[in-house]
Amino acid sequence: MKILLFLVSIFLSQFILSAGEFNCGSIKCDNYEADVSDKASLQRGLSTYMNYCYGCHSLKYSRYKRVAEDLLIPIEMYENNLIYDDSKIGDLMEISLSKSDAINWLGAYPPDLTLEARLRRPDWIYTYLRNYYPDSSRPYGVNNRVYQNVNMPHVLEDMQNSLTKLEYDQVIYDLTNFMTYVADPSAEQRKRVGTYVLLFLVIFTAFAYMTYREFKKDLK
């Protein structure tokens, strides 16, 4: 009985302790459902990432070539449009921004974002990038509801102002989708292989059962 009471109190404490807390800073995370099989969305997300984020945030656990192949982008097209320095297509996606420069200029070092979607979850990133707001007390005149007093400027501000809300949400959807893919590039392949494995098991079970029935006949 005591054990039961103990278990019930642990179960209830979760609700009491989490009451009033939000999973996205000062607000609730918006719903976000990634679809890493949507290659067009991933390609758009990659393009936004390379143009607006890659100057500060490396993806150093990923290689250009892997991304090109997974996203079905011809190597030559990738080299001509999405590699900005003298990196080779087989290189890791590293950037040249040094820690000391970043801290001097920005007040913080922009972390590598390869695994960000696993660390923070995609819905956090999606909500974060859509929740900058004007705040004159901050160095860049903006603040963020999800990440209070963040040292990252609102790098997509011009884009946000020139697009409708729906269009901007789509850009952030694609960008987050790309970050979800890059944090776990083999997720899709894993699912595909998983389907074949299950199919194999079903067929194998059918044959095993038939063999079992044959053996059983002999035993009678």
Note the residues at the interface with ligand HEC (CB under 6 A): 52-53, 55-57, 106, 108, 110-111, 113, 116, 120, 125, 128-129, 150-153, 155-156, 175
Nearer to ligand HEC, 64 or 178 (CB): 178
Nearest residue to 50 (alpha-carbon basis) of 185, 175, 180, 161: 175
Tokens of 118: 């696993």
CB of 12 to ligand HEC, least distance (A): 31
Nearer to ligand HEC, 57 or 63 (CB): 57
CB of 191 to ligand HEC, least distance (A): 25
Report the distance separating Cα 204 and Cα 216, nearest Å: 18
Work out the burial of residue 57: count CB atoms within 10 Å of its CB; fewer than 13 is exposed, 13-18 middle, 19 or more buried. buried
Nearer to ligand HEC, 55 or 74 (CB): 55
Residue nearest to ligand HEC (CB): 53
Taking the alpha carbons at both ends of the chain, their separation in whole angstroms is: 53
Nearer to ligand HEC, 140 or 217 (CB): 140
CB of 200 to ligand HEC, least distance (A): 40
Report the distance separating Cα 175 and Cα 53, nearest Å: 10
